[in-house]
Each structure stands twice: as structure tokens, then as C-alpha cells.
Amino acid sequence: MARQNYAAQNEHESLVSVIKAFLSDQFVENVAKAVQQTPNPDSEQIKLTKEQCVSAFKDRLIADMGFMVNETDKKDTASYAKEALERRELHMPALSISCGTCNKCAHNEFVVTDQCQGCLARPCTNCPFGAIEFVNGKSHINKEKCKRCGICAKSCPYGAIIKRTMPCAAVCPVDAVEKTQSGCANINEEKCISCGQCAAACPFGAIMARSEIIDVLKAIKAGKKVIAMPAPAIMGQFGMASIAQILSAFIKAGFTDAIEVAVGADITTRNEAVELAERMENGAPFMTTSCCPAYYNAVRKHIPEMQEFVSHTLTPMQYTARLLKKRDPECVTVFIGPCMAKRVEGFHDEYTDFVLNNKEVEALFEVLNIVPKDLPEEKQDDNASKQGRGFALTGGVAEAVVSLKTCEVCPVAINGLNKESVRQLKMYAKNRKADGNLVEVMACTGGCVGGPGVAAPIKNAMKEIKDRMAKSEDLKL
């Protein structure tokens, strides 16, 4: 798949380099060589110098080997590779920021651009703090007086006054992205809900997730029974491949077996539908879904008053992992999906051993020359329901619960967590009343299919998911 920009190319090439190095049986040596083979972009088209590109790629390699890139102990790449081979357990947090790659964007300040016409009416002078001054006939903002209210920007008929901000901080729904004294962005772990929106928004690719790809490949190489658990959002990530072809691709890649997490989604639906009916009978005003780990991280850290309304039902990933561990306690379970927060959920779930995202799987398939849509359907699908496969889309969880008719359901969907939707959830908790009795919360706009770890455009993926749902049977209670 063609990369749409240098940041995406950098991310993909790093994953490919790490996977190739591991499979070569000369991991340490080849990872060290990969730094010298940094993709060389057209210097006339990007801001970074060659040296900065090398530094950014090195940090990306370190993250893809499973380490933080903002740690003070800056070893060489080979040392990280040796440590990755010896590692026996993973650590949190899931996200870190490469300060060498970070653009150190200005944050929350208003500036006058060259579009200022020096007009006679000067509507920008309505600033209540007297921060607008004039230099050579054009507007200028006195930063000492400016309170960042934005009135001047709203008043300018030419749009000459703009607000500069950090893209990563602007999209964070809980203000977890802060600025260090050096100007670099930093993630406040006490606030972070691991939704990954900051990583997706950073135009420089400076926010990087710890990958678990090496740990998974180590387990496969050791001959362990490693089972892939692709989420419903896997559909559409590899062209027109069917779910049976995608499951077959995992086995061809070295996994012992593969099972759809949509099977676990069917268990979630049944349990959540029964739980909702019981809560309604007991007079509860509403219940929220519990499938999105970024949402319940937000509840735990920022909206504790919402806790009593969150469903106690486990997530599809957890139910699927439990099914597999019941069959074989020694198996290694690997969840695959586009979600960043699943890394945190998997870390705390004793039944889920590792978590990969779709981009990592795409890179693995590329290295192994596996094209899912060209494979025979040797591995049959798991007969998951239409509703279970719809969990990938906003509204899908609620629609699944509605379909079982355990009680009268009035669903409402929170389509993406942002500052406004967090305020809305806080009001629901405060007033003990929502716009419906089943509130589905998805941290990513569009649902899981819009997560930060997707490998394909959301429109393509949504079409494939809906096509697959149309060919599936309805869920029965």
C-alpha cells in the first residue's frame, strides 16, 4: 500500500525493518544497520534535515522494539535490540514522545498573519484587554496583554488572525498533552486515557506507541501455540479479502490458529442485553456500554461519578481470550485491532498476552509476502453474528443489544471522545439522566474502524464491514 505522507512512510518502514531484522536471525546487527538506511525524503519538501530524519527513524525503531523513546537512558539501537530479545515482560505506558522529532509547536496563542490588510475600520481593536497594537499600519498582538480570548480573530473580516496550537493537544479529550520547558510535547500519564488521538494527529509522527511485535514473533519462534484474535475492525484493512482469507493469512504468518473477536462480541451482546434489562427493572436511569477501553479509562480518571452507570460486562477481547485459555491454558493470545487503548487493557487482562495493531500486521504480511485476498479460504470463519461483526462501527454495540429485545431500549451514541462529549458525559452523571437508556461510547469517531492503528481508509473499511454483516446471520439470545 502506498504511504500517503513521509510520517506514515517512516512508521511503516521502521516496522518492516524491525520485523525483517528479527526474522533474519541477526536481529541486533540488522537493526543497527537499519538506522543507516533511513528513508531519505526530498529535502525540499519537508522541514527536517537528514540528521533529524535519522534521529526520528532511530526513535521509531526503538518504539517498534517495545521501548519508550523519551527515556533519559539513551542507549544505541543495538543495545535496545539485545534488551528486546531478553525481555520477559512488558511495561506501560503505551505511548511516548520523541522530543527530537517533535516540532515544538506553539500552543494556544493568537498571531496576526500577512493577510492583515491594515483596514480603516480595524474591528480587531474590540479586544477588551487592549492587546491589539499597530506596527507599520498593521495589527500586532501584545502577548503580555493578550488573554487568548479570540475575540480579535472572530472580528477580523479577512481571517488574518489565527490561533496557533499543538495538533496533539487540540484533539486530546482530557487535556493530557502538555508542554515541557524545552517546548516539546509531553503526555501526562495521570490524565492520559490511551485513546491514541494525539498520535494520529501529530503531523511529524513524534508520538509513538510501544510495539509488541517482537514479543509476538519471539513466542512464535519458540514454538508456542500463538493464536491471533482479530477484532471486527480487521475487515477492509487488507483490500477485498474475506474474513476466512484474513484468518488464513495469520496462520500462514506463523500463528497456530486465528479466531474472530466477533465471537466474543456475541457473548458481550448477550450479557450486556441481560444486564441492561436487570438495571432497568431495578430503576436505573441508564447504562453505558463497556467495550471501549479508552472510555472506561476516561471514567476512571476523569468521570468517576459515571462509574455506577458503566456496564459490568467484559469486552469482546476479554471473552475471546477466556474462551481460548479455557481450551488451552498454555496458549498465547494476541489481540489484533486498530485501538491504542487495547494495549493498556491487554496489559491488565491476565488472559490476553499481547496486542498488535493493524499497521503492525500489515507490515508483517508485507515482509512475509502474504496477500490475504490472494489466499484460498482454508481457514473457515467462526460463524460470528451480523451484530457481533458490527461492533467495529459506531452504533453497532447498541444495535446488537437492541436486536435481542430483552427490554425496551432507547440507544444514544457518543461518536468519538472529545472535550464536548466528555462534558456531555459528566452532565449525564451529574443529572442522573441521559438522552436514552443505553449510552454507547466510542472514543474514536466512526467507531473502532476509525482508530489510530488502522491500515486502510475508514470509508473502505466501513464498506467491507457492512458487506460482511449483510452476509452474516442474526444473533440469537
pTM to 2 decimal places: 0.92
Spell out the residues 6+ positions from residue 112 whose beta carbon is closer than 8 angstroms to its own. 138, 139, 140, 141, 160, 161
Per-residue pLDDT, 2: 47
State the chain's mean pLDDT as an integer.
Answer: 93
Per DSSP, the three-state class of 195 is coil
- 258 - beta bridge partners? 228
* Short-list 397, 297, 291, CA closest to 344: 297
Q: Dump pLDDT digits (tens) for 104-142.
A: 988 888 999 999 999 999 999 999 999 999 999 999 999
- Per-residue pLDDT reduced to its tens digit, 424-440: 999 999 999 999 999 99
User: Does the pLDDT of residue 71 top 50, yes or no?
Assistant: yes
Reply yes or no on whether the pLDDT at 44 is more than 60: no
Query: Are 262 and 385 within 8 A, CB to CB?
Result: yes
| DSSP β-ladder status, 161-164 and 109-112 | antiparallel
Angle between the N-to-C axes of helices 213-221 and 6-23, in degrees from 0 to 180, rounded to the nearest 10: 20
Question: Per residue in 220-255, pLDDT tens?
Answer: 999 999 999 999 999 989 988 999 999 999 999 999
Q: Where are the beta strands (DSSP E) in 35-147?
A: 95-97, 109-112, 132-135, 138-141
> pLDDT tens-digit profile of 283-320?
999 999 999 999 999 999 999 999 999 999 999 999 99
- For 120, counting Cβ atoms within 10 Å of its Cβ (0-12 exposed, 13-18 middle, 19+ buried), the class is exposed
Residue 377's nearest CA partner among 250, 239, 230, 243 is 243
pLDDT number for residue 64: 96
Cell numbers standing for residue 117: 490588510
pLDDT at residue 35 tops 90: no
Q: Which of 160-164, 256-260, 320-324 has the lowest mean pLDDT?
A: 160-164
Is 383 in a helix, a strand, or coil?
Answer: coil
Helix axes 6-23, 27-36, angle to 10 degrees: 150
Question: In CATH, which of 3.30.70.580, 3.30.365.10, 3.80.10.10, 3.30.70.20 is domain 109-164?
Answer: 3.30.70.20
The arithmetic mean of pLDDT across residues 194-205, rounded, is 94
Cα–Cα distance, 102 to 462 (Å, whole number): 32
Q: Are 212 and 343 in contact (CB under 8 A)?
A: yes
> Taking a C-beta distance cutoff of 8 angstroms, is the pair 453, 359 a contact?
yes
- Helix 50-64 vs helix 6-23: angle between axes, to the nearest 10 degrees? 50
Ranges for all domains in the chain classified under CATH 3.30.70.20: 109-164
* In the predicted structure, residue 332 carries a pLDDT above the cut 90: yes
Is a pLDDT exceeding 50 seen at residue 1? no
Among the listed residues 240, 453, 432, the one whose alpha carbon sits nearest the alpha carbon of residue 359? 453
For residue 61, the one-letter residue type is: L
Strands 132-135 and 138-141 come out as: antiparallel
Instruction: Check residue 47 and give its pLDDT.
Output: 67
Question: What's the pLDDT score for residue 45?
Answer: 59
